[in-house]
Structure 1
Amino acid sequence: MREPTRKPTLNHVGITVSDLDRSIEFYTALGFGEPPADWVFTIEGEWLSQLVDEEGAVIRVAFLPMGDGVLELLEYQTPQGEKANTRPNRDAGAMHVALNVDDVDALYERLKDSVEFNSPPQTVAMGPWAGNKVAYLKDPDGTPLELVQDVHK
């Protein structure tokens, strides 16, 4: 196998959601920009069905700008899947998305009455991120997110 000429970089993070409009509202409340009108669309076709290994796949998609990348939200129209993420972080294959924010405490205070947080913000006690402030929360479908405030900047 040939050695790659450059190291991979993050292109996008994709999250499957049950209600695209609700998820756009949630992620914009976290500070993501509104997706441009042409960044909310429906995709379908044999190429897509082969790509995602789902017969007759039809997916509503929204791209939300995220630094140098994109947050891709996908709502499967067909076939429909489970409507909530119930996989705990301890399970193999579980994932979370970590987002850099300027002020974890302020974001927590603004959202705590409408968003499910695991706890108030915590201070990392050890490792290379010691001293940083972090908080875990769930999006409307139960996908875990981590807010990270780098206090060393």
Structure 2
Amino acid sequence: MDLAHVAICVSDLERALEFYGELGFEETHRFTLDGVENVYVGKPGSDGDLQLRYDPARTTPVAPSRADTDHVAFTVEDVEATFENALAAGAAPVLEPTEIESADAYAAFVEDPEGYTLEFYRGL
């Protein structure tokens, strides 16, 4: 079994596409179902996608909570460069690049423009 995609709700589809585009993601496909726009973005050569769901009729704010979804993790070649690129694209820092020995990883965390926490990591 392989993970196909993770879906997150966004309040501004164009802002989300711009942010993830700055991180190297490309649109793989899209569709609209019951008025909700679903846009999939992925990295070239990767099997998994991130699904951005935008409902223009939504009446409640998108409110990501680390109590419910702690973070979405991405493997990267260069943690520092990805962290800096994310900050330049509009992310807020959560944890600067650091070694996490217990996880055998080197990782950094940012908050995307919607408030989702993203982890960029590589193994030690």
Do these two structures clear the TM 0.5 threshold for a shared fold by scoring above it? yes
1:11 aligned onto 2:42? no
Per the TM alignment, residue 41 of structure 1 is displaced from its structure 2 partner at its CA by 3.4
Q: How many residues align?
A: 121
Alignment of 1:50-89 (within 5 A): 58-66=35-43, 67-85=46-64, 87=65, 89=66
Give 4+ residue runs of structure 1 displaced > 4 Å after superposition: none
Per-residue displacement from partner, 1:85-144 (whole Å, max 9, x unpaired)? 2x2x3x2x2232100110011122333343201131111122xx32x2101111111011
Q: Give the structure with the larger strand fraction.
A: 2
Q: How does 1:140-151 map to 2 (within 5 A)?
A: 140-151=113-124
Letter in 1 for 2:10: V
C-alpha distance in 2, partners of 1:73/1:104?
23
The structure showing larger relative contact order (alpha-carbon pairs under 8 Å, at least 6 residues apart) is 2
> Which structure is larger by alpha-carbon Rg, 1 or 2?
1
C-alpha separation between the residues in 1 aligned to 2:79 and 2:113? Answer: 19
Q: TM-score, normalised by structure 2?
A: 0.84
- Give the AA of the match of 1:24: L
> Aligned equivalents of 1:140 and 1:148: distance in 2?
20
* Percent of aligned pairs with the same amino acid: 31
Q: Provide the alpha-carbon RMSD of the alignment.
A: 1.8
Q: 1:42 — aligned with what?
A: 32
TM-score under structure 1 length normalisation: 0.70
